[in-house]
Structure 1
Amino acid sequence: MPEKKTIAKAREDKRRGKAPSTQAGEFVHEEIEHIREGKHGARSAKQAIAIGLSKARRAGVKIGAGKSASTATKKKAASDTRAARKRSSGTAAKKSTTRSRATKTALKKEGHAAASKRALSAQARKSAAKRPAASRSAAAKKAAHTKGAAGRSAAAKKAARTRAKKAS
């Protein structure tokens, strides 16, 4: 179950008109924090992200599986979306104690390196490399549009500092 503050942050993102992936990012961030705190582990950064996305879908964030996702992933995404709908209509079945305990026990046995900066950075690079330049550019333009004036100004200053650092 996601923390209340995570759900509140995702709702705030939705109110501000941010993309569903941004809303889901709050849940992924929470999952990474849990791994770093030692609440549980994960085999890879990819698994940590998948757990966060699953929680987001179950909390009602409208995010589907990717175009190139496997059949199993698409099935799981559909199942999570259905679970969210059932939860909102009040007809959700009681969670299986045995199943949730088994999941928690299995995750506790996993390592914590999956949430390291190095692992997450490698995952981000790998994921970005699969996308065409036009797609990455469009995402950056959309991000700049929803950032707001103060955010754009801060980003421009940071970019200028980075350029100056690289030049020297």
Structure 2
Amino acid sequence: MTSAKRHAADQSKRWSQKVTETSHALDLEKGVFAQADPREIARSLKRSADRSHRRKTDPFRSAMSMLNFYINRAGKNLTIERRRCLEAAKDELRVLYGKPRAHARQ
């Protein structure tokens, strides 16, 4: 691989981290996705979404979108336990915003 291709590959791997850190939709609290408690992750996302004046949609959708973005970008690098925690944070977000729970996964 040439130096230019390697540099481009390195940058493409980091774009999602930059989006997470510099999103114009939400100002995330530091370490939000590293927390161990799904409820705390959800509460942090809710605080960020509720405070944001730059988001393009309602706070619930902004918070859920950021959580889904993080899960999707982490992909295979997430452990089973971490993925379960983040998926549980989705349910906690729904509870915090008074939204119905998603249908059971099959």
Report the TM-score when normalising by structure 1. Answer: 0.24
TM-score normalized with structure 2 length: 0.32
Structure with greater contact order relative to length (CA < 8 Å, sep ≥ 6): 2
